[in-house]
Amino acid sequence: MTAGPLSAEPLVSWRPGATRDAILEFVNQVTTPGSSSYVPPGERIAVIEHDGVLIPEIPRVQGVFTLQRLRTQRDRHPEWETLMPFRGALEIGERFFREVDPETALVVMAATHSGLTQSAFRREVQSFWRTARHPAHGVAWSRTAYLPMQELLDLLRSQGFRIFIVTAGSADFVRAISQDMYGIPPERVIGSQVETGLVEEDGQLELRRIPGDVLLVDGAQKVLAIDSQIGQRPLVAVGRARHGGDIEMLRYSERLGRPSLQLLIIHDDFERDFALFDEDPESLAAAARGGWRVVSMRWEWRRLFAFEPLPEALQ
Amino acid sequence: MTAGPLSAEPLVSWRPGATRDAILEFVNQVTTPGSSSYVPPGERIAVIEHDGVLIPEIPRVQGVFTLQRLRTQRDRHPEWETLMPFRGALEIGERFFREVDPETALVVMAATHSGLTQSAFRREVQSFWRTARHPAHGVAWSRTAYLPMQELLDLLRSQGFRIFIVTAGSADFVRAISQDMYGIPPERVIGSQVETGLVEEDGQLELRRIPGDVLLVDGAQKVLAIDSQIGQRPLVAVGRARHGGDIEMLRYSERLGRPSLQLLIIHDDFERDFALFDEDPESLAAAARGGWRVVSMRWEWRRLFAFEPLPEALQ
């Protein structure tokens, strides 16, 4: 793959300043032949979290899907009315997925996302994405991709990078829209997965989703999954400053004495989107040690969504 | 990705006849817009075994690498001199890997392929590939790709297919040469893997290969790995008729009432390469039931290697 020229104004939704300059300078360094920091196209790998980085994290879209499945299946599972954590999710609704730890959320997801074949599950997910609307923004959920991140994907792609989504969320859930929303094909989505087993149905081999253990791709497991499925150390990593689940992935993309790029996104735009103000100190400390760029959505992104009116600075 | 026109003479090393016609006809059907069998580019996935399909299986190149590591490490492992299966491999040499079952071969591979970091292991593999020569053909091992399969990869790629190697051999071993030999990047190689663990070395995160369990990607595990890493049912599958390890993968690529392509390669060219004459009856029975094309190298391939003199029929 040969790299094309940078577009006339890349990262136009990013505020001019140190972070935007650092990204452009890094991309220029590693893609300029003859530069001492040059990295051949084959090694230009970027890994990016999904929830809270490419798309708003509140409410969690997969949480909403899970609740929908929980409610349609509750008649067949009377035990859920009393059994935790299912009872909690049914009573509290979407906020449940915001407040519990990832392992507890996974118990509910695993139970509601299993029992069907992969083909049937993928049809359910696709049908959800076709109709789901974001409750706060009032647009189709599939239109809530953050515009500055889309511009970053475009910039990296134009310079020969292969981009992978590496998410603690369900791989199958994100794969349903990764091509349409981000131009990222399903095989470049790495994420948490339930177990599957091979079965024969109507003379054809099918995979059935087994309730039980889930492989949670978070923390150190993200690095193991990157190594196992990509087989190379990434050059760019973008994560978010919550739970510390992206620290290992970002650290793994650091290269001793050679340039690499790490962005740590802070979900702090309480006016245009939603803010939690719960950045974990460990992620911020790791950013300071590693020289990562900490990206405040509120400050660094002039425009969040394509459906937003063009702000004055961009008119 | 848009599909280009077929090259003037695709599959030129394949003997004109039913198999070559069937491949060209299939590719034409699924890539012609408006055809009732049309498959959009996003779903054009091909999965292909490595050993014995893309490259000769005898001797197994990974077996030779394993023996080399076994011999350089034997001083540090006096127990190998008496302990099976290590003693067997040291005494019998390359034929050991031909005669034992895949699980036993894996025990030796896991022991010799672990203990180092992924970076160090990959350097070892790359250095092996740079110097290894095929003992029978007398050329660099990296030049022993089967020419007819290279032409098939070119044909599929020109028509917008994404091609994955799915091998019972070590993913890391094949990834070292997949781009250079086949134009297939490392992340499109799915294969058997040892466990790894995250460690810190010189302030950088590294993965260390752990001796112990190996995930053997063979039989049903091939389908599970395809689903987990690609997330789509393949449209084309190419395997070999030994051990039955490719039956599930080829069956999984069948589509009820819609075209798909399965090739089962028979390693039978005792004059130009090597023949084992040990095709397993189960693979052949599955081929008959599924309408797969059984490909005799000796009969269907007019030229096996690029280093071979051009046969009369092609002059």
Is B118 in Cβ contact with A198 (below 8 Å)? no
At a CB cut-off of 8 Å and minimum separation 6, what does A197 contact? A207, A208, A210
Is A223 in Cβ contact with B248 (below 8 Å)? no
Mean pLDDT of A79-91: 94
Task: Give me the pLDDT at residue B2, please.
Answer: 42
At a CB cut-off of 8 Å and minimum separation 6, what does B188 contact? A187, B162, B163, B164, B165, B178
For chain B, say whether A275 makes contact (Cβ under 8 Å).
no
Report the alpha-carbon angle A39-A41-A47, nearest 5.
85
Q: B259: which DSSP letter?
A: -
**Shortest distance, CA B86 to any CA of chain A (angstroms):** 27
Interface of B with A in 29-48 (CB under 8 A): 42, 45
The ipTM of this complex is: 0.93
Of the candidates B227, B229, B248, which has its C-beta nearest A229's C-beta? B229
At a CB cut-off of 8 Å and minimum separation 6, what does A213 contact? A110, A194, A195
pLDDT digits (tens, 9 = 90+) for A241-293: 988 999 999 999 999 889 999 999 999 999 998 887 778 899 999 999 999 99
Residues B282, B219: Cα–Cα separation, whole Å = 12
For chain A, say whether B117 makes contact (Cβ under 8 Å).
no
Is A204 in Cβ contact with B198 (below 8 Å)? no
Q: What is the mean pLDDT of chain A?
A: 92
Interface of B with A in 55-114 (CB under 8 A): none
Is B256 in Cβ contact with A223 (below 8 Å)? no
Is A171 in Cβ contact with B252 (below 8 Å)? no
Q: B309: which DSSP letter?
A: P
Q: Is the pLDDT of residue A2 over 60?
A: no
For chain A, say whether B220 makes contact (Cβ under 8 Å).
yes
Position A8 confidence tier, pLDDT thresholds 50, 70, 90: low
- In chain B, the residue whose alpha carbon lies closest to the alpha carbon of A196 is B224
DSSP states along B149-211: HHHHHHHHHHTT-EEEEEEEEEHHHHHHHHHHHHS--GGGEEEEEEEEEEEEETTEEEEEEEE
Please tell me which residue, A169 or A45, carries the higher pLDDT value: A45
Is B187 in Cβ contact with A224 (below 8 Å)? no
Position A119 confidence tier, pLDDT thresholds 50, 70, 90: very high
Report the alpha-carbon angle B292-B295-B300, nearest 5.
140
- In chain B, the residue whose alpha carbon lies closest to the alpha carbon of A255 is B204
Mean pLDDT of A146-165: 98
Strands A162-170 and A45-48: parallel
pLDDT tens for the 315 residues of chain B, in order: 344 454 568 999 999 999 999 999 999 999 999 999 999 999 999 999 999 999 998 888 999 999 999 999 999 999 999 999 999 999 999 889 888 887 888 889 888 988 899 999 999 999 999 999 999 999 999 999 999 999 999 999 999 999 999 999 999 999 999 999 999 999 999 999 999 999 998 889 999 999 877 888 999 999 999 999 999 999 999 999 988 999 999 999 999 889 999 999 999 999 998 887 778 899 999 999 999 999 999 999 999 999 988 888 787
Task: Give me the pLDDT at residue B20, please.
Answer: 98
Q: What percent of chain A has pLDDT over 70?
A: 97
At a CB cut-off of 8 Å and minimum separation 6, what does B76 contact? none
Mutate to test the interface with B, among A205, A224, A226 (most CBs of B within 10 A): A205
pLDDT digits (tens, 9 = 90+) for A13-39: 999 999 999 999 999 999 999 999 999
Of the candidates B198, B205, B227, which has its C-beta nearest A118's C-beta? B227
Is B162 in Cβ contact with A196 (below 8 Å)? no
pTM for the whole thing?
A: 0.94
Helix, coil or strand: residue A314 = helix
For chain A, say whether B315 makes contact (Cβ under 8 Å).
no
Task: Give me the pLDDT at residue A84, please.
Answer: 93
